Structure 1
Amino acid sequence: MPLSSVLQRLETKLPPLLLVLALATLAWLLAWQWPALNLRFAGQRWFALGLAVLAAAIALAGVRAFRQHGTTVDPTRPEHSSAVVSSGIYRFTRNPMYLGFGLGLAAWVIGLGNAAAALLIPVYVAYMVRFQIRPEEAALQAKFGEPFVAYMRRVRRWL
């Protein structure tokens, strides 16, 4: 089986929250394994906590907007979407739930204060773009056509 087929089979299969939990666990293991790479700064825990609260607020705003419009929040079934949501938090980012998850992971990494763990944040972004966001965009474009394309032109993927 060609690598492209294997990679395509991974698209929208892993729920993003599960990915975040796996990467957070790996970040903790990296911090535990390499304490020499720990970095500390004044107010670190408070900064991490504030970022975590912001992350949760952004993600929950995305969930709430989807529920208000009666569309699915299941990231493994983008074809089940019933509406293009472009109001509320979706005026600023096309992926507030994924942005919130990423900021939550960043908050965890900042709280851990380990340089090796910080390398997992770009891993999250790259995985999400390749295996979740691009396939979702293709499914939504196929389903909704020009209204979704116009929305993509107006609003950025992340911020």
Structure 2
Amino acid sequence: MTWLQLKFPPPLVALVFLIHLGLVAYLYPDTIFSFPYQSYIAVIIGLIGLALGITASIEFRKVKTAVNPRKPELAQSLVTNGIFKYSRNPMYLGLVIIICAAVIFAGNFITLMHPILLVMYLHFFQIRPEERILLDKFGEDYLVYMTHTRRWI
């Protein structure tokens, strides 16, 4: 399934997951869960995910490097500052957190699989291919970065 590697922009993939999550929640109302302040907690978690993505985008723009996830070879600089000190993939982490927020908001047990499936998709079809390309492009600098900074958190 290498044909899927780097084919779809991760925000588009996350949007598809959000739409599917909403449909599942709508079609299976018998699998609902709820707890106090559920909507508020979901919004706060979603804002955290959004903040991660925006913060990471700002770091990319500071060094004027490419942000195109479908063409990591266009990156002119290796970004290791700011949020990238703590995660090599804060934008993807932000997307997963947003999906987690949507699961909490939907309150449907079936949708609990969505964040896991998104992590798997991103890991195999986005992150690993990106890592190979960035390792070829930035060599030892990227290898050192990989040893000091975790892939997710």
Superposed, 1:65-84 pairs within 5 Å as 65-84=59-78
Superposed, 1:2-13 pairs within 5 Å as 7-13=1-7
Q: CA deviation at 1:118?
A: 1.4
Partner amino acid for 2:98?
G
Does residue 18 of the first structure (1) align with residue 12 of the second (2)?
A: yes
TM-score by structure 2 length? Answer: 0.98
2:126 corresponds in structure 1 to 132
Percent of pairs with identical residues: 35
Cα distance in 2, alignment partners of residues 123 and 137 from structure 1:
20
Cα distance in 1, alignment partners of residues 128 and 83 from structure 2:
20
CA deviation profile, 1:104-146 (whole Å, cap 9, x unmatched): 1111111000011111110000000000000000000000000
2:45 corresponds in structure 1 to 51
Does residue 102 of the first structure (1) align with residue 96 of the second (2)?
A: yes
1:4 corresponds in structure 2 to none
CA deviation profile, 1:20-57 (whole Å, cap 9, x unmatched): 00011100111111111110000100100000111111
Check the 8 A contact 1:94/1:155 in 2, yes or no. Answer: yes
Extract structure 1 runs of 4+ deviating beyond 3 A: none
Does residue 35 of the first structure (1) align with residue 29 of the second (2)?
A: yes
Match of 2:80 among 86, 92, 104: 86
Cα distance in 2, alignment partners of residues 140 and 29 from structure 1:
37
TM-score by structure 1 length? Answer: 0.95
Q: CA deviation at 1:70?
A: 1.0
Check the 8 A contact 1:12/1:75 in 2, yes or no. Answer: yes
Partner amino acid for 1:65?
E
1:32 counterpart SS class: helix
Check the 8 A contact 1:94/1:156 in 2, yes or no. Answer: yes
Match of 2:111 among 108, 114, 117: 117
Alignment gaps of 5+ in structure 2: none
